[in-house]
Structure 1
Amino acid sequence: MKTKKIERIITPPQPHMVGDGFRVHQYIPTGLGEGFERMDPFIMMDYNSKFYFPPTEQPRGVGVHPHRGFETVTIAYKGSVAHHDSAGNNDVIGEGDVQWMTAASGILHKEYHEENFSKAGGDFQMVQLWINLPAKDKMSSPKYQGITNDAMKKVQLPDHAGFVEIIAGEYLGKKGPADTFTPVHMLNAKLNKSGKASFHFPANYNTIVLVIEGNIKVNNSDLIKTDSLGLFANDGEAFSIEAIDKAVVLVLSGEPIKEPIAAQGPFVMNTKSEIIQAISDFNMGKFGYLE
Structure 2
Amino acid sequence: MKNRKVNQLLYAHETMMGDMPIRQPFPTEKVEQIDPFLLLHHANVEADKYVDPDDAGVGPHPHRGFSPVTFIFQGGVHHRDSRGNDSVVYAGGAQWMNAGRGIVHSERPPHDIHEIGGRQEIIQLWINSPAANKTDQPAYYPLQASDVPTKVLDDGRVVLKVVSGNVLDTVGGIAARPEVNAATITIGKGGSVQIPLPSNHNVFIYLLDGKLNVDGFGIVEAHHVVLFNNDGDGISFSGLEDTRILLVSAEPLNEEVVSHGPFVMNSQTQILEAMRDYQMGRMGILIEE
Query: What one-letter code is carried by the residue in structure 1 that aligns with 2:27?
Result: P
1:45 equivalenced with 2:40 (yes/no): yes
Could you list the runs of 5+ residues in structure 1 that have no partner in the other structure? none
Distance 1:121 1:152, change over 3 A: closer
**Residue number in structure 2 paired with 1:7:** 7
Could you list the runs of 5+ residues in structure 2 that have no partner in the other structure? none
2:116 and 2:168 map into 1 onto residues whose CA distance is 40
1:26 equivalenced with 2:24 (yes/no): yes
1:95 and 1:28 map into 2 onto residues whose CA distance is 24
Query: What one-letter code is carried by the residue in structure 1 that aligns with 2:138?
Result: P
| Contact 1:189 1:197 (8 Å CA) reproduced | no
Taking structure 1 as the reference length, the TM-score comes to: 0.92
1:214 and 1:235 map into 2 onto residues whose CA distance is 27
Q: Where does 1:238-253 land on structure 2 (aligned, <5 Å)?
A: 238-253=234-249
Distance 1:220 1:33, change over 3 A: closer
Structure 2 residue corresponding to 1:207, chosen from 198, 203, 227: 203
SS in 2 for 1:14: strand
Taking structure 2 as the reference length, the TM-score comes to: 0.93
Deviation at 1:149, TM superposition (A): 1.3
Deviation at 1:172, TM superposition (A): 2.2
SS in 2 for 1:116: coil
Deviation at 1:262, TM superposition (A): 1.2
**Residue number in structure 1 paired with 2:32:** 35
Structure 2 residue corresponding to 1:85, chosen from 70, 81, 93: 81
Q: Which consecutive aligned stretches of 4+ in structure 1 deviate over 4 angstroms post-superposition?
A: 118-121
SS in 1 for 2:120: strand
SS in 1 for 2:87: strand
Q: After the TM superposition, which of the residue ranges 219-228 and 165-174 deviates more from structure 2?
A: 219-228
SS in 2 for 1:282: helix
1:285 and 1:52 map into 2 onto residues whose CA distance is 34
SS in 1 for 2:137: coil
2:176 and 2:45 map into 1 onto residues whose CA distance is 30
Residue identity (%)? 31
